[in-house]
Amino acid sequence: MADAKPRVKVPKTATAGEPITIKTLISHVMESGLRKDKKTGELIPQQIINRFTCDFNGENVVDMTLSGGVSANPYVEFDAMIDAAGEFKFTWYDDDGSVYEASKSIELA
């Protein structure tokens, strides 16, 4: 799905050592591989986002493995803690090999 669009909410600033909440959303059907095509009766092949990572200035924040049990347009909310200004990088990995990315900068308060 080449047109999956990520949507990420990162606060503009953070206090060093205090956690901040990050919200991420991406459009993706998360085809579980369990649904049948109504017309043909065939199983629709699985196609999901199978992994999501968030890094800050090159260090990992979270690394998540997803399955077809995650809802379409996967929403992932988690907390990060930073000690310097920098950039968050978000990466979503699709079963079909596509990789979707987003990045957000943040300043120290």
Partner 1 sequence: MRIRAKTTAGLATAAALMLGTSAFAEPDMDARLVVNEELEITTITAAPDHLEGALEQVISGWHYRGETTRAMQADDFENPAMAFVDEGLATWDTVDGTEGESCASCHGDIEESMKGVRAVMPKINAENGELWSMEDYVNDCRTNRMGAEAWNWDKGPMKTMTAAIALQSRGMPVDVAIDGAAAPYWEQGKEMYYTRTGLLQLSCANCHQENAGNYIRADHLSQGQINGFPVFRMKQSNLVSMHNRFFGCVRDTRAESYAKGGPEFHALELYVASRGNGLSVEAPSIRN
Partner 2 sequence: MTYTRRDALAVGASGIALLASTRVAFAVTGEEAIAEFTGGAAAGEGGITIKAPEIAENGNVVPVEVDAPGAAEIMLVAPANPSARLASIKFGPKSGAQRISTRIRLAKTQDVTAIARMADGSFIMTSQPVKVTVGGCGG
Query: What are the CA-CA distances from residue 104 to residues 12, 28, 43 (Å)?
Result: 9, 21, 38
Does 101 bind partner 1 (CB under 8 A)? Our answer is no
Does 26 bind partner 1 (CB under 8 A)? Our answer is yes
Does 93 bind partner 2 (CB under 8 A)? Our answer is no
Whether 45 and 29 have beta carbons less than 8 Å apart is answered as no
Does 40 bind partner 2 (CB under 8 A)? Our answer is no
Does 10 bind partner 2 (CB under 8 A)? Our answer is no
Residue with tokens 């109504």: 38
97 binds, among partner 1, partner 2, none (CB under 5 to 8 A by kind): none
User: What is the rounded distance in angstroms from the CA atom of residue 76 to the CA atom of residue 71?
Assistant: 11
Residues making contact with partner 2 (CB under 8 A): 18-21, 32-36, 55-57, 59-72, 74-82
